[in-house]
Amino acid sequence: MALFAADLARRLARDAEAVCRHYLSNGRRQGRYWLVGDVHNMPGRSMFVRLSGPESGPGAAGHWTDAASAEYGDLLDVIRESCGLVDFRDVAEEARRFLGLPKSERRLVSPGTKPAPRGSPESARRLYAMSRPIAGTLAEAYLHARGIVTVHDGGALRFHPRCYYRPDEHAPIEAWPAMIACITDFDGRITGVHRTWLDRSGRGKAPIDTPRRAMGELLGNAVRFGTADDVLAAGEGIETMLSMRFALPTMPAAAALSANHLAALLLPSTLRRLYIARDADAAGDRATVTLSTRAQEAGIEAISLSPKFGDFNDDLRAFGVDELRAVLRHQLAPQDAQHFCDSKMAGMG
């Protein structure tokens, strides 16, 4: 597949100007380069595409760089981003269509791969796979700005620099950096993802109407931090549960993403004690009562953890991690307080 992609990119690069005129029509040629606003064909001059050069290596024809975002790529990336495609099969199909390759060459692409339906678990898994670890990214900067200086995410979080966002089905697609959280079942199978679109400064969420959205199969599943055995802390928000993990790094945690989904969270059969990190509002109260009742009916001890403010991220930002740890320790069962809040564990915060 990699060799086939490289061959397609080389064929496109041989006619790089024609590719740019078609997919980056808001740009224009200037000397040996095509200048345009970005890879999504926005007007401007920050992105430049080399129109001539060697077939590979530094200065190769078809390679592009966006001086504003520091992104770079080849003409297959141009086709993917400008057309809003996700799966490589669709990108290759569009590239072949442009190049006019014979149908016999279509066999070179994985024949069993089909475009994933929008919003499906498969689409969610592909988005997660296309993202990268959050270390050194805007996602990490965003969490630091929320007071979560040490991120104990267990690999559940990733970052995508240009995640598509559409306000509604009639509006044009936008692209914003996003924190991607995988939603999993008990077996660790990804059933969905949650996207938090971020401001490009990394200091907060993107200035859009709905900066948080989930897709896939959410009911009963959660964003999981650590592996639960007999003890689990569950709450609504990702930042809420990461704040708890900052204070109690070894406490397994699950973010159900909303009050309704928290109330419906499926509980492991091995669980003996469930801590419910409630949000201090009416919806949080209802979810806590419902989940507590379900846990008790299953023979699981349920203990509500209450923040001083709206949620535990609010507490973290107001008081700091040491005070948050003290607040939590006071509410834990004695044996769990000793296990999760001893001096060795506290030092990890």
The per-residue pLDDT for range 290-340, each reduced to its tens digit, is: 999 999 999 999 999 999 999 999 999 999 999 999 999 999 999 999 999
The mean pLDDT value for 93-115 works out to 56
Q: Which of 263, 240, 206, 211 is nearest to 317 (CA)?
A: 240
Same-domain status, 88 and 162: no
Flag whether 162 is in a domain.
yes
Instruction: Read off the CATH number of the domain in which 60 is found.
Output: 3.90.580.10
The values of phi and psi at residue 203, to 5°, are -90, -5
pLDDT confidence band for 101 (50 / 70 / 90): low
Same-domain status, 19 and 89: yes
Last residue of a domain, one of 108, 143, 175: 108
Same-domain status, 233 and 327: yes
pLDDT digits (tens, 9 = 90+) for 179-210: 999 999 988 899 999 999 999 888 899 999 99
pLDDT at 102: 47
Same-domain status, 55 and 156: no
Torsion sign (Cα): 189, 196, 155, 125: positive
205: which DSSP letter? B
pLDDT at 131: 87
Amino acid occupying residue 245: R
Q: What is the mean pLDDT of the chain?
A: 88
pLDDT confidence band for 55 (50 / 70 / 90): confident
pTM over 0.85: no
10 Å Cβ neighbour count for 296? Answer: 12
Flag whether 34 is in a domain.
yes
Same-domain status, 212 and 229: no
pLDDT digits (tens, 9 = 90+) for 125-152: 888 888 888 999 999 999 999 999 999 9
Q: Residue 144 corresponds to which tokens in the numbers above?
A: 């630091």
Of 3-12, 157-166, 321-330, the least confident: 3-12
pLDDT digits (tens, 9 = 90+) for 215-269: 999 999 999 999 899 999 999 999 999 999 999 999 999 999 999 999 999 999 9
Last residue of a domain, one of 157, 183, 216: 216
340: which DSSP letter? H
Give the domain range for residue 57.
Answer: 2-108
As a whole-number percent, the residues of the chain with pLDDT over 70 amount to 91
Same-domain status, 99 and 136: no
The CA-based angle 214-218-219, given to 5 degrees, is 145
- Domain total in the chain: 3
pLDDT confidence band for 84 (50 / 70 / 90): confident
Would the pLDDT of 283 be above 90?
yes
Radius of gyration for the chain, computed over Cα atoms and rounded to the nearest angstrom? 24
Flag whether 149 is in a domain.
yes
Would the pLDDT of 347 be above 90?
no
pLDDT at 242: 98
The CA-based angle 273-279-280, given to 5 degrees, is 120
Instruction: Read off the CATH number of the domain in which 284 is found.
Output: 3.40.1360.10
pLDDT confidence band for 95 (50 / 70 / 90): confident
pLDDT confidence band for 4 (50 / 70 / 90): low
Flag whether 115 is in a domain.
no
pLDDT confidence band for 213 (50 / 70 / 90): very high
Same-domain status, 80 and 174: no
Last residue of a domain, one of 200, 216, 232: 216
Of 11-15, 17-21, 99-103, the least confident: 99-103
The mean pLDDT value for 113-118 works out to 56
Same-domain status, 166 and 98: no
pLDDT at 117: 63
Flag whether 116 is in a domain.
no
Q: Which residues contact 231 (CB under 8 A, 6 or more apart)?
A: 251, 252, 271, 272, 273, 274, 275, 336
The CA-based angle 74-3-48, given to 5 degrees, is 5
Same-domain status, 91 and 143: no
